[in-house]
Amino acid sequence: MSPSEIGGLVGGIIAAVIVIFFAALVIRTALNRPKVAPGKAQDLPAIDKDAAVRHLREAIRIPTVSMVEDYADNVQPFIDYRNWLEKTYPLLNAAAEREIIADYSIIYRLKGTDPSLKGGCFLSHIDVVPAPKDGWEYDPFEAVLTDDGYIYGRGAQDMKSHMIALLEAVEYHLAHGRKFVRDLYLCFGHDEEPGNSIVGASSIVRHLKAKGVEMEFVIDEGGTVLDGKLLGIPHTVALIGACEKGNGDLELVVRKSGGHASNPKPPTAVGLLSAAVEKVEKHPMKTRWTNMTKETFKSLSPYCKGAFKFILTNRDVFSPLLKFVFTKAAPMTNALVRSTFAPTMLWGSDARNVIPKEARANINFRIITGETAQDVKSYLNKLLGDKVEVNLQTYSDPSPEADVHCEAYERLRDTIVNTFDDIVVAPYMFIAASDARFYNPLTDNVFRFGPFINTLDDQSRIHGVNERLHVDQLEKATQFFVKCLDSMC
């Protein structure tokens, strides 16, 4: 064969291989079909909506602000809240064993009929973040119910609504004479909000572990609900947190000779620190796909349409493109593919006209599965060099990944599908922090899901001004927990 004929043959083979390759991708995409079809909510129980609303408003009016910093002496509201629970849920308090842990956290245990089964555990936290009145339309601890059906107040979303919906569901079952097959544990920590200063959740877990308690599953707040159109999915998407990123703080410290501001000698400690903070923001850690993010794609891709379905189904082929899109699309998607840094606090001179000998910055970091706090420290040491000291403060490494193919996950998924209309469910890596991360010594099946479908506007109010929840959301959440308790316990 002549060189031109050989070249033509090789070109034809390459073209054929490319055609076959993309044909295989197209076939693979076509065969990727949903296993669980989104549908209509089924058999929703008729709960006492007015009672749930009344109880949430009463709960908000007890200002259980976390007992740290300016609120270190805020003890009485936690005692008041405990007493209020006892009065408001008489059937639970009559039937359950109650233990007070670390002075203010609470464990309720309802014995199941089959002691051979592992327990089922539902979490909530009692404390809320502070709520200065500035900017609020209503007093944040008055729990005003507006004519359009919103309850305003601190904790309306995070997370007294979650706790009240759960308690209303338990009381509902007890009122109907229901006995659970497995032991049911309700664990309420008192200091989730301060982050790494937690005592309640860790003390609860140590206490239960010492008693030899094992759980079949743990369900806490978390997860998220998205408009599926963002991913080319014509349904609402509910994401169950099946693991969570690690989190912590580190300090960047720069030391240099100080002096009077009238006689500066650059670069100063402040100048060097500023450059270091800018460098941290401009040079993030590398992206990576975790096993859980792969599970997210695997669960969602069958429901996608068009190009989204083609790309997500063939993630292994389009990985560089997907990573680029995720890092640029939104802070949340960027957080799913890498460890992140957020400069939060700065310290320098105590006087306006004094150049400090030392300048410090706090960097809050969130660690992706597969990396550790030590990895973060090593990365920043290499990035910033020996002129900047990097000191780890308090931190927790990423939690283990739960089994998203176990019976507990499938029951949780089915309960969501049967409670909410037209919804698709997938596991994902929860990017914030929750009490749930302490519970892995009791079970491998730790999940995070809050049964509230709120608008982006309402989600942005969490920890902010005008936090609120619509009464219909509370009703739906209570129905979810009624069905969840029925299927899982």
Catalytic annotation, residues: 127, 192
Q: N- to C-terminal Cα distance for the chain?
A: 75
Sign of CA dihedral 415, 115, 187, 57: positive
Dist CA 76 CA 67 (whole Å): 10
Among candidates 49, 43, 57, which has minimal Cα distance to 172?
Answer: 49
Would you state the torsion angle of the CA atoms of residues 108, 220, 247, 299, taken in this order, to the nearest 10 degrees?
160
Among candidates 36, 29, 40, which has minimal Cα distance to 305?
Answer: 29
Check: CB of residue 156 under 8 Å from CB of residue 467: yes
| CB < 8 Å & 24+ apart, contacts of 212-215 | 213/119, 213/185, 213/442, 214/118, 214/119, 214/442, 214/443, 215/118, 215/119, 215/120, 215/121, 215/185, 215/439, 215/442, 215/443, 215/445
The helix/strand/coil state of 354 is strand
The two tokens of residue 488 are: 């899982």
The helix/strand/coil state of 119 is strand
Bridge-based pairing state of the strands 246-255 and 358-367: antiparallel
Give 456: exposed, middle or buried? Use CB within 10 Å, 0-12, 13-18, 19+: exposed
Dist CA 242 CA 430 (whole Å): 7
Sign of CA dihedral 113, 115, 116, 121: positive
Degrees, nearest 5: CA angle 408-411-416 = 130
